[in-house]
Structure 1
Amino acid sequence: MTADTLPARAMPSGDAATAATKKSAFKSIFIVASGNFLEMFDFMVFGYYATYISKAFFPTGSEFVSLLLTLMTFGAGFLMRPVGALVLGAYVDHHGRRKGLLLTLGLMALGTLAIAITPTYDQIGLAAPLIILAGRLVQGLSAGVEVGGVSVYLNEIAPPHRKGFYTSWQSASQQAAVVFAALIGLLVSTSLSPETMQAWGWRIPFIIGCVMIPFLFIIRRHVEETDAFLNRKEHPKIGEIVRIIGANWGIVLQGALMAVMTTVFFYMITAYTPTFGSKVLNLGPGEALFVTACVGLTNFILLPVMGALSDKVGRRPLLITASVLGVVLAYPLMSWLVASPSFGKLLAVELLLATIYATYNGAFIVYLTEAIPAHVRTVGFSLAYSMATAIFGGFTPAISTALIGATGDKAIPGAWCAAAALLSLLALLIGSRVNRHAEAHG
Structure 2
Amino acid sequence: MQTMLRSAHADPASPAGADGAASPPPIVLGGAQVRRAVIASVIGNGLEWFDFLIYAYFAKIIAHVFFPLGNPFLSTSLTFATFAVGFIVRPLGGIAIGAYADRVGRRKTLSMLILLMALSTVLMGVTPSYRSIGIAAPLLVLLARVLQGLSVGGEFATAAAMLSEYAPRGKKMFYGSFQMTSQAIALVLSSGFAYFLTTHLDRAALESWGWRIPFLLGAVVGPVGFYIRHKVAESPEFVALRDQQGHRTQAPRASLGRFLRERGDAVLCAMGVIIVGAATNYLWHTFMPSYIERQLHLPLKNALLGTAASGLVSLAGYPLAGKLADRFGAYRLFFPVVTVWVLAAYPLFLWVLAHPTPERVFAAQMMATVVLSLMSGPHPGMLTQLFPTATRSTGVALAYNVAVTLFGGLAPLTVSTLITVTGSNFVPAYYLVFAGVVSLLLVGLTRSGRRLRRDPHALPLD
One fold, TM greater than 0.5?
yes
TM-score normalised over the length of structure 1: 0.91
CA deviation map 1:143-195 (0-9, x unaligned) = 11111111110000001111110001001111101101111111111110012
Partner residue in 2 for 1:260: 275
1: CA distance between counterparts of 2:43 and 2:398? 22
Point out the structure with the larger helix share: 1
1:77 equivalent among 77, 86, 93? 86
C-alpha separation between the residues in 2 aligned to 1:271 and 1:257? 21
2: CA distance between counterparts of 1:139 and 1:260?
21
Q: Which residue of 1 aligns with 2:422?
A: 407
Query: Which of 130, 133, 136 is equivalent to 2:145?
Result: 136
- Return the offset for 1:97: 0.4
Cα distance in 2 between the residues matched to 1:313 and 1:41: 32
Distance 2:240 2:254 in 1: 22
The one-letter code of the counterpart of 2:269 is Q
TM-score by length of 2: 0.87
Q: State the Cα distance separating 1:261 from its structure 2 match.
A: 0.7
Among 91, 95, 108, the residue aligned to 1:86: 95
Gap change, CA 1:237 and 1:85, over 3 Å in 2 = farther
User: Which residue number corresponds to residue 392 of structure 2?
Assistant: 377
Deviation digits for residues 179-232 of structure 1 (CA, Å, limit 9, x no counterpart) = 011111111111100121112211111111123322222222222101100111
2:309 maps to 1:300? no
Partner SS for 1:221: helix
Q: Matched residues in 1 for 2:161 and 2:222: separation?
A: 23
AA aligned to 2:202 is S
Matched, 1:214 2:223: yes
- The Cα offsets for residues 359-418 of structure 1, whole Å up to 9 and x where unpaired, read as 111233211110112210001101100001111211111112112111111121111011
Is 1:157 aligned to 2:166, yes or no? yes
Aligned match for 2:348, one of 325, 333, 351: 333
**Uncovered stretches (5+) of structure 1, i.e. residues with no partner:** 1-19
Stretch moving more, 50-59 or 333-342? 333-342
Deviation of 1:317 after TM superposition, in Å, equals: 2.5
In the alignment, which residue of structure 2 is the partner of 1:176? Answer: 185
Q: Is the 8 A contact 1:319 1:364 kept in 2?
A: no
Supply the distance in 1 between the matched residues of 2:110 and 2:212 (Cα, whole angstroms). 26
Per the alignment, residue 296 of structure 2 pairs with 281
Please say if 1:422 is aligned against 2:431.
Answer: no
**One-letter amino acid matched to 1:369:** T
Match of 1:201 in 2: 210
In structure 2, list runs of 5 or more residues that go unmatched.
1-28, 452-457
Task: Please tell me the residue identity of whatever aligns with 2:130.
Answer: Y
AA at the equivalent of 1:88: I
Report the 3-state secondary structure (helix = DSSP H, G, I; strand = E; otherwise coil) of the residue aligned with 2:410.
Answer: helix
SS, match of residue 392 in structure 1: helix
How many pairs were matched up?
421
Residue 28 (structure 1) aligned to one of 30, 37, 42: 37
User: In structure 2, do the counterparts of structure 1 residues 434 and 191 end up closer, same or farther at CA, with 3 Å as the change threshold?
Assistant: closer
Rounded to whole Å, the distance in 2 between the matches of 1:120 and 1:354 is: 35
Distance 1:209 1:186 in 2: 16
1:14 maps to what in 2? none
Q: What does residue 145 of structure 1 align with?
A: 154
Output the CA distance in 2 between the equivalents of 1:292 and 1:98.
Answer: 32
Q: Which of these residues, 101, 104, 117, is aligned with residue 126 of structure 2?
A: 117
Structure 1 residues 150, 433: closer, same or farther in 2, change over 3 A?
closer
| One-letter amino acid of the structure 1 residue matched with residue 329 of structure 2 | G
Structure 2 residue matching 1:341: 3-state secondary structure: coil
Per the alignment, residue 5 of structure 2 pairs with none
Structure-2 residue corresponding to 1:349:
364
Kept in 1, the 8 Å contact 2:269–2:449? The answer is no
* In the alignment, structure 1 residue 271 sits paired with structure 2 residue 286: yes
Give distance in 2, aligned partners of 1:138 and 1:290: 30
Code of the aligned partner of 2:297: N
Give the residue type in structure 2 aligned to 1:354.
T
Query: What is the SS of the residue equivalent to 1:174?
Result: helix
- Cα distance in structure 1, aligned partners of 2:49 and 2:329: 28
Instruction: State the secondary structure of the residue aligned to 2:274.
Output: helix
Q: CA RMSD in A?
A: 2.0
Partner deviation per Cα, 1:41-96 (whole Å, 9 max, x = no partner): 11111111111001111122110111111011111100111111111111111011
Corresponding position: 1:192 with 2:201: yes
Query: Secondary structure at the residue paired with 1:200?
Result: helix
Residue in 1 aligned with 2:58? 49
